[in-house]
Structure 1
Amino acid sequence: MLRTTLVAAATLLTATTVLVPPAAAADKLPYSDQCQFPNGLYPGRPWSLQRVLLDELWSQSQGKGVRVAVIDTGVDVKNPQLTDAVDVKAGRNLLPKNLKDEDGDPIERGKENGTTDTVGHGTKVAGIIAARPAAGTGFVGLAPEATIIPIQQNDAEGHGTTDTLAAAIRYAIQAKAGVINISQDTSNAMKPSSDLERAIDEALAQKIVVVASAGNDGLGGNVKETYPASYDGVLAVAASDRNNERASFSQSGDFVGVAAPGVDMISTVPQGGHCSDNGTSFSAPYVAGVAALIKAKHPDWTARQIVAQIEQTAERTIDGHDRLVGWGVVDPVRALTEDDHPIESPSPQGGLGRAEAPTAAKFQTGETPDERNARLATYVAVAAAVLVAGLGGTAVAIRDARRRARRVSGAE
């Protein structure tokens, strides 16, 4: 069984999720912290986007022409920010037919094109990647010109399996995806069937960047491998908080490639509006969006080179890699601007933030140049005043002499 990597259990609708009748338009609803479908528009700019200079980022790339496969619980295109972002014709529903719930009652499978999402998970993931700009909100996807391929492979009851995940990856290859986002992991730490790994390798061979969430079992320092994030070539993404540190729930391990914001993540929800959620599920699409931007700018780069670029330019405070945040917290602007040539692997020194040592002040044995200039300026000012006074006194003396001369001449 597969699970979407929410902090709350599995993919089940949580107690804070409320389904609102579709007649309630999102643009007429106030934004609510209670996650409801639809919900109001988030009025500001989410913190995960405030940390990025979006104008500088988008001057380099907006992801145009890059297709991103979202293998998840579906993507609801009724949210206006996703309507033009999703290739509906390319979508696919890979869930088994004749689905039943825990009580054995039949459940609705959803549309064949993958645009049904009763959970909201896949719709949030897609929004972080490619939501289009909209009036009334500061939320937007990191790659607002990329195209989403919705591949519904899991649902609220957890019907997704490693077999359907492998099939979804292969379908993404056929649908010409340039990036694949997988915000799911297996329900246990055992390495799954080799067919899933083969599907990953097939995608990598086609220069497709595969991004996967690291998992949310990190409380208490728990360290274990998760799949498909732990496969070679997959960029495993941990969650970071507002302080660029590992979120407490984020899975740790040597397989972690980078970290990205995963706390209080605002994104699109089914039927319209936005909602906040936590988890590495929402860190992965943040990185997938950056991968789409790089791929649009450098279409000839391999998947390995794009991954290395993201790792190389991530923000970190120690040399090299660590098991908490990998190579560091992703820096979208650096990833798009420090890219004069492709690299195959990150350098331990690259991205390391070091404070520059202050320049020592020059020791002066006499007056400084500024003091000398001030002194000379004073001399000039005083001399000018003396000269003006002298000229004024001379003029008075000449005038008085002329008056005396006229008086003497008149007396004679």
Structure 2
Amino acid sequence: MKGLDVKGLNVKDRTARSRSRIGRNSGTRALQRVLGVLAVTGVCLASAPPVSATPAASRPTDTGAPGSDESPDFGLADSTECVFGGDVIKSTPWSLQRILLDQLWAQAKGKGVKVGVIDTGVDASNQQLRSAVAGGKTFVDGAADKDIEGHGTRVAGIIAARPLKGTGFVGIAPEATVLSYRYTGGKEKQGNSGTMTSAIKAAVAAGAKIINISSDTANRKDNGPLRDAVAAAVASGALIIAAAGNDGADGKSADTYPASYPGVLAVAASDRNDERAFFSQAGDFVDVAAPGVGMVSTVPTDGQCTADGTSFAAPYVAGVAALLKEKYPDWSAAQIATRIQETAQRPGRGPNRYIGWGVVDPVAALSDGSTPAESPKPDPPVEAGSGGVVPMAVTMGETEAERERRVAIYVLGTGLALALVVAGSGVAVRDWRSRRVATSGRSGASGRSGRAGQGPGR
């Protein structure tokens, strides 16, 4: 389909691509499963029919270019569980299990904070989002509170989905307000970097202090008007949080936009081990990472589904930013970004090109009572003896205590050996004396016997 690549939704011209990885691997994974089963059973695959990536009933309305019959499996998982208007997932997602939610929400829930979601629209009919969506604007055909793709609805759910009985899924900031700006995902008219630029300006004008963009420009190209719109938003005090990208399987660095623009908090995806998800784009522009694998969230009409991608790592961080904005309303966007980065979990003192300053730690970000600077600083080096821990001295010889133990063992061993020698000598002397007495007795008896045998006939 013209304008569409396998990495997500590429609409015409200088388009923004979704950071979702759902449609990209679904057919491949399904085919791999079929091939594996048939290989084991020895069934010939020569006449095997193609495997459908997604059940027809769960596919969204055609969003291809005019005149095209193709439809991207955008936002859909390779599972029949992913159906718009389907069931909810009962268990608590792993991305929320890693957080002490009671401790987190005791400090803030995002109340009064407006979060702009610049995406494919947010379907307000989902019962976890009905009271969350409160405004927005569309720049393509269709209403801002509708979403035929499902991508924007997932993004919004991770940020601000309300609690719902029967499911463990809920948004990071369950009292934040979502403003939906539909810059792409239209049925007849698709958006591009121009509509994204307009959406950013509209979000700033509406008072959104946190803006989530889970897309990038096609072919990773810089764009002048988009760059200017981002700069103006940053100057106004808004914190733009953008997905880093899903083209990082080769591990090579590459800039993506708008994530690479100054003042934007670029988010990579991490896995269950707090390591970079293999698909997450690497680069010096990456600021922080967040869970982006197996992410549960809301879908249009009702229900939930799972998805992978930096698209769903960015709103995780946007939710944390909304909590910080409620707790510290006077903090600047740069201070909020700094707090998120400095409290993230990382393997080193500073950032790296894979997960930036580390994997976001929401509880740590809200619990630190200090006032952050405008930019993050590396952790101070750990000095010997700090933290009440006394390191063991490294020596090439034995310590005094070890020497005393060695001498004590020698003395004890020598004393025991002497005692054994004395005892053994006493037994030997006693046995020698006994044998001597016995020998003398036998010799005396023999002499008396010989003298008695001599007769008087001499």
| Partner SS for 1:336 | helix
CA–CA separation in structure 2 for the residues paired with 1:38 and 1:171 = 30
| Partner SS for 2:262 | coil
The question of whether the paired residues in 2 share the 8 Å contact of 1:52 and 1:332 is answered with yes
| Partner SS for 2:118 | strand
The question of whether the paired residues in 1 share the 8 Å contact of 2:58 and 2:82 is answered with no
Q: Deviations over 1:318-368 (max 9, x none)?
A: 12110000000000001101132121111211799x99967769x7989xx
Report deviation, 1:126. Answer: 0.2
The aligned counterpart of 1:347 is 377
TM-score by length of 2: 0.69
For the pair 1:207 / 2:237, whether they are aligned, the reply is yes
Query: Structure 1 241/357 Cα, relative in aligned 2: closer, same or farther at 3 Å?
Result: farther
Q: Deviations over 1:242-286 (max 9, x none)?
A: 000000000000000000000000000111111000000000000
Q: Which has the higher contact order (CA 8 A, sep 6+)?
A: 1
Query: Structure 1 357/7 Cα, relative in aligned 2: closer, same or farther at 3 Å?
Result: farther
Unaligned runs of 5+ in 1: 22-31, 96-108, 367-412
Report deviation, 1:189. Answer: 2.4
In the alignment, which of 300, 309, 316 is matched to residue 270 of structure 1? 300
For the pair 1:123 / 2:153, whether they are aligned, the reply is yes
Query: Structure 1 61/229 Cα, relative in aligned 2: closer, same or farther at 3 Å?
Result: same
| Structure exhibiting the larger radius of gyration computed from Cα positions | 2
The question of whether the paired residues in 2 share the 8 Å contact of 1:117 and 1:123 is answered with yes
Report deviation, 1:222. Answer: 2.9
CA–CA separation in structure 1 for the residues paired with 2:380 and 2:324 = 18
**Which residues of 2 match residues 303-314 of structure 1 at below 5 A?**
303-314=333-344
The aligned counterpart of 1:15 is 53
Give the ranges of 4+ consecutive aligned residues of structure 1 lying more than 4 Å apart after TM superposition.
17-21, 354-361, 363-366
Unaligned runs of 5+ in 2: 1-14, 28-51, 60-78, 394-400, 406-458
| Partner SS for 1:57 | helix
Query: Structure 1 153/357 Cα, relative in aligned 2: closer, same or farther at 3 Å?
Result: same
Q: What is the count of residue pairs matched by the alignment?
A: 336
CA–CA separation in structure 2 for the residues paired with 1:18 and 1:60 = 44
In the alignment, which of 184, 205, 212 is matched to residue 215 of structure 2? 184
In the alignment, which of 278, 283, 290 is matched to residue 260 of structure 1? 290
For the pair 1:52 / 2:66, whether they are aligned, the reply is no
The aligned counterpart of 1:92 is 137
Moved more, 153-162 or 320-329: 153-162
In the alignment, which of 191, 199, 217 is matched to residue 168 of structure 1? 199
The question of whether the paired residues in 2 share the 8 Å contact of 1:222 and 1:252 is answered with yes
Residue type matched to 1:110 in 2?
G
The aligned counterpart of 1:371 is none
In the alignment, which of 287, 292, 297 is matched to residue 327 of structure 2? 297
CA RMSD of aligned residues (A): 2.8
| Partner SS for 1:201 | helix
| Partner SS for 1:37 | coil
TM-score by length of 1: 0.76
The aligned counterpart of 1:110 is 142
Moved more, 33-42 or 319-328: 33-42
For the pair 1:6 / 2:20, whether they are aligned, the reply is yes
**Which residues of 2 match residues 356-375 of structure 1 at below 5 A?**
none
CA–CA separation in structure 1 for the residues paired with 2:244 and 2:381 = 22
Report deviation, 1:138. Answer: 0.5
CA–CA separation in structure 1 for the residues paired with 2:170 and 2:387 = 33
Q: Deviations over 1:50-86 (max 9, x none)?
A: 0001011111110111000000000011110000011
